[in-house]
Structure 1
Amino acid sequence: MALPHLMTALAIALVPSLAFAADGKPLDAAGFDARTVGKTITYFSGGEPYGVEQYLPGQRVIWAFTESECKEGRWFQAGEFICFDYRDNNGLQCWTFFDRPEGLMARFQGSPESEPLISLQESDKPLSCPGLNVGV
């Protein structure tokens, strides 16, 4: 293989990892917990509301897609990912989180080139979930 072709192939192979590296170092469990516990965060994707999550002590969460019912779950670290288990048919939802100046950013596992979730609103108020007994 000629050197120019080899360099082009190498550059193409590195593009996803370079874009991923530009996000910075992913948050680990301790960093994620310190950044989120006690907060209710609204996430946006592509400028549109995506969902809201309340982060409780003990790695517990309550999630609601916009205008959807709330789901209780737990999160844990798996490698560089923070994975969420809502005990439903969707299985584990694993994300890489970054603490950026513009807000918390999350990229779905296996899709570093996809539109990330960005936290544009944060609150200390609990998520409003009629009928859900969460008992802090």
Structure 2
Amino acid sequence: MKRLFFAVLMLATPAFSQSAMTAAEFEAYVSGKTLFFATQGTRYGVEQYLPDRRVRWSFLDGQCKEGIWYEEAGQICFIYEDTPAPQCWSFYKGRNGLSARFEDETNGTELYEIEATGEDMLCLGPEVGV
């Protein structure tokens, strides 16, 4: 049982010892996809990769943010409509999908791709006042 636990843990652990993906590798992998991400065993968010390096992100709360991504200094950086400062990540491709490390903070957030289980990205409309 202990071995099984460690095997599952290793599958969920990002493989940061390999080289980060280039912008071309990242684009080839994500284009046209919607990817779900988790961190430390908890669902974290979902991102849809649209044409022309546009993205749509949600923390799985129905609220979606439009943005773009670009490569800078070997990292993949995102700018969203409500956050003008870039958020830069290093992405790695493993046998179970993508893993990523947030590079804009010490001990940055680490995410890994999880199966969508048939779930669609949910974006509710803008909040409307009375």
Fold match (TM-score > 0.5): yes
Q: Distance in 2 between matches of 1:50 and 1:83?
A: 18
Counterpart code for 2:43? P
Runs of 4+ with >3 A deviation: 110-115, 122-126
Q: Distance in 2 between matches of 1:22 and 1:67?
A: 29
1:31-46 alignment, distance < 5 Å: 31-46=25-40
Bigger Cα Rg: 1
Matched, 1:29 2:23: yes
> Which stretches in structure 1 are left out of the alignment for 5+ residues?
1-20
- Is the CA contact (8 Å cut-off) linking 1:77 and 1:83 kept in structure 2? yes
SS of residue in 2 equivalent to 1:93? strand
Structure 1 residues 82-129: Cα deviation after superposition (integer angstroms, max 9, x where no partner): 000003246211100000112200000145744510001258986331
> Which stretches in structure 2 are left out of the alignment for 5+ residues?
1-14
Give the TM-score, by structure 1 length. Answer: 0.72
Structure (1 or 2) with the greater strand fraction: 2
Give the TM-score, by structure 2 length. Answer: 0.75
Query: Which region of structure 1 is more displaced relative to structure 2, 22-31 or 52-61?
Result: 22-31
Q: Distance in 2 between matches of 1:119 and 1:41?
A: 7
SS of residue in 1 equivalent to 2:115? strand
Structure 1 residues 17-73: Cα deviation after superposition (integer angstroms, max 9, x where no partner): xxxx95311111110000001110000000000100000111000000121410000
Counterpart code for 1:128? L
Q: Distance in 2 between matches of 1:107 and 1:58?
A: 23
Figure out how many residues of one structure are paired with residues of the other and give that number. Answer: 113
Give RMSD over aligned pairs: 2.6
SS of residue in 2 equivalent to 1:91? strand
